Amino acid sequence: MTSHQNTQTMKPATAAKKLGVCLEATPAEFREGVVTRAELNALQADPPAWLRELRREGPHPRPVVAAKLGVSIAGLHRGGVAEPLTTAQIDALKQERPEWLEREQAVQADVRKEAARVKKLHAERAERAEDTRRD
C-alpha cells in the first residue's frame, strides 16, 4: 500500500497573515495564487526583497501595529486607528504620544502585570499541590 501526501495549501490572505504583512501590499503573483506550506516556510526562512521591505516599512496589519505601539488591537480601535500604518506613521505616533496611546499603553501594562500575577499564583498552587502529593 502506498501513501502519498497531499500538499497543504492556503489562501494568500492566510499566508500574508502568517507572514505579518498586509495582503494588499504584496506582489500580484502572491495575491493571485495559492501558497503551499513549503512556500510559506521558504518565505519565512529566506524572505525575498519585497517581504523584507514590507516588514521594514509597512504598511503593517493591525496586530503588528498594536505590537509596535505596545497596545491591544481593541486599543487601536478605541484610539481611532482602523487602517494599516507604515513604520513612519507608527514612529510619528510614538513621538507625538497622543493621550489615547498613553492611556492604552498603561492599560496594556496593567494587563501584563495581572497576567504575570495569575501565572505566578497558578505556579505556586501547582507547587503546593505537588508537595501535598509527595507527603
Q: Quick check: pTM over 0.85?
A: no
CA distance 114 to 121: 10
Average pLDDT (13-30) is 94
pLDDT, one tens digit per residue, over 36-79 is 999 999 999 999 999 999 999 999 999 999 999 999 999 999 99
How confident is the model at residue 7, as a pLDDT?
Answer: 80
Tell me the per-residue pLDDT of 93-132, one tens digit each, with 9 for 90 and over.
999 999 999 999 999 999 999 999 999 999 999 888 887 7
| Sign of the CA dihedral running 55, 58, 112, 121 | negative
CA distances from 102 to 69, 78, 99, 105, 108 (A): 10, 12, 5, 5, 10
